[in-house]
Amino acid sequence: MKITILTLFPQMFKGFVEESIIKRAIEKEVVEVKVVDIRDYSLNKHRHVDDTPCGGGAGMVLQVDVCHRAIKDNTNLNSHIVMMTPQGIKYDQKVAQRLAKEEDLVLLCGHYEGFDERIRDYVTEEISIGDYVLTGGEIPAMALADSVIRLLDHAIKEESHLDDSFSTGLLEYPQYTRPIEYENKKVPEVLLNGNHKEIKLFRKKEALRRTYLKRPDLLKDYNFSSEDKKLLDEIIKEEK
């Protein structure tokens, strides 16, 4: 996969591509990450990329011609172009899984007051990472890219993300490691007995419990098996 990030602040991505899992994925050629400075496409000698809003108002608006040149020069017919904007669809794990199947992903980061409306004609879709406003699209682009890259083959071990929160429709079950006991708090005995069937059942139940207690809204769309229903009934009784 290739991910191209169009931004006014390319230096913000320096640490992002040079640390941890993202760095290793790039080194293993699982993904290519290209960071492009939108200002390089300004025809203004001062590299201006924005102007005052037509009709008046506060702030500055990113210009359509500059952004369009940046998009055209960094895309092809197979490119999936995402505008990072609070007006986009709400980002979640299902969207991450869908985007991870793309071969050429382009992320357009906004800034200032926003985009000239006509820029929307040159993107594939608009995505928001939540119902709040940030100073720009750089942090959302990093969040999106990180969540997509970790799903790619060989970026991390597949089993490391198969049971992630939201991947199964539930929050992830609680995890433990050594020390086995700390300040009178012990690792559940079932995780130490080596019985994989019991461990699997424990984790399923605790994933259901955590979702029931913290994000019950997720259960509305969850596809319950007969075992799941039995476990949830037990959880409801236990939590009363």
* Residues with catalytic roles: 86, 113, 150, 164
Q: How far apart are CA 155 and CA 146, in angstroms?
A: 11
Q: How far apart are CA 98 and CA 140, in angstroms?
A: 17
Question: SS3 for 4?
Answer: strand
Backbone angles phi, psi at 159, to 5 degrees: -65, -15
Q: b vs e for 154-182, b when ≥16 Cβ sit within 10 Å of the residue's Cβ?
A: ebbeeeebeebbbebbbbbbeeeeeeeee
Q: How far apart are CA 32 and CA 16, in angstroms?
A: 13
